[in-house]
C-alpha cells in the first residue's frame, strides 16, 4: 500500500528535503500519471495535493493516507458526477 504522511518533526522534514534535492523524490504529477495511465490535469493534481495536506492536518500523523486509493476514488467521483 503506497502510504503517505507528513514528516514527524523538523529533522525528518530536513531528511525529506535533502532526498528530494538529490532527486530521490517523485513529483506528485508523475505519481498520479503512473496510477491513472495518462497525464493528469492540473485540477486533479491540486485536489490530490489538498487531500494530502488536509489528511495531515485532520489525522495528525495517526494514520497514513493511501494515496493510490485517494487518486482512484477521486477519479471515480469525477466519472460519477460528470
Give Cα 59 distance to the centre of its chain.
15
Name 4's bridge partners: 65
CB atoms closer than 10 angstroms to residue 32 = 23
Over residues 18-46, the pLDDT tens digits come to 887 888 878 889 999 999 999 999 999 99
| pLDDT recorded at residue 11 | 94
38 vs 32: CA distance, rounded Å: 8
| pLDDT score of 61 | 62
CB distance 68 to 2 below 8 Å: yes
Tens digits of residue pLDDT in 1-19: 456 667 788 998 899 888 8
Q: What is the pLDDT of residues 36-76, one digit of tens each?
A: 999 999 999 998 888 888 877 777 666 777 889 989 998 99
pLDDT of residue 60: 65
Strand intervals (E) in the chain: 3-4, 65-66
Contact (Cβ atoms closer than 8 angstroms) between residue 47 and residue 74: yes
Amino acid at each position: 500500500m503506497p502510504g503517505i504522511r507528513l514528516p514527524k518533526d523538523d529533522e525528518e522534514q530536513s531528511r525529506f528535503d535533502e532526498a528530494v534535492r538529490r532527486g530521490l523524490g517523485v513529483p506528485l504529477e508523475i505519481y498520479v500519471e503512473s496510477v491513472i495511465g495518462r497525464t493528469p490535469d492540473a485540477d486533479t493534481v491540486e485536489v490530490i495535493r489538498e487531500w494530502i495536506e488536509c489528511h495531515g492536518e485532520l489525522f495528525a500523523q495517526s494514520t497514513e493516507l493511501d494515496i493510490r486509493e485517494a487518486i482512484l476514488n477521486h477519479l471515480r467521483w469525477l466519472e460519477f458526477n460528470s
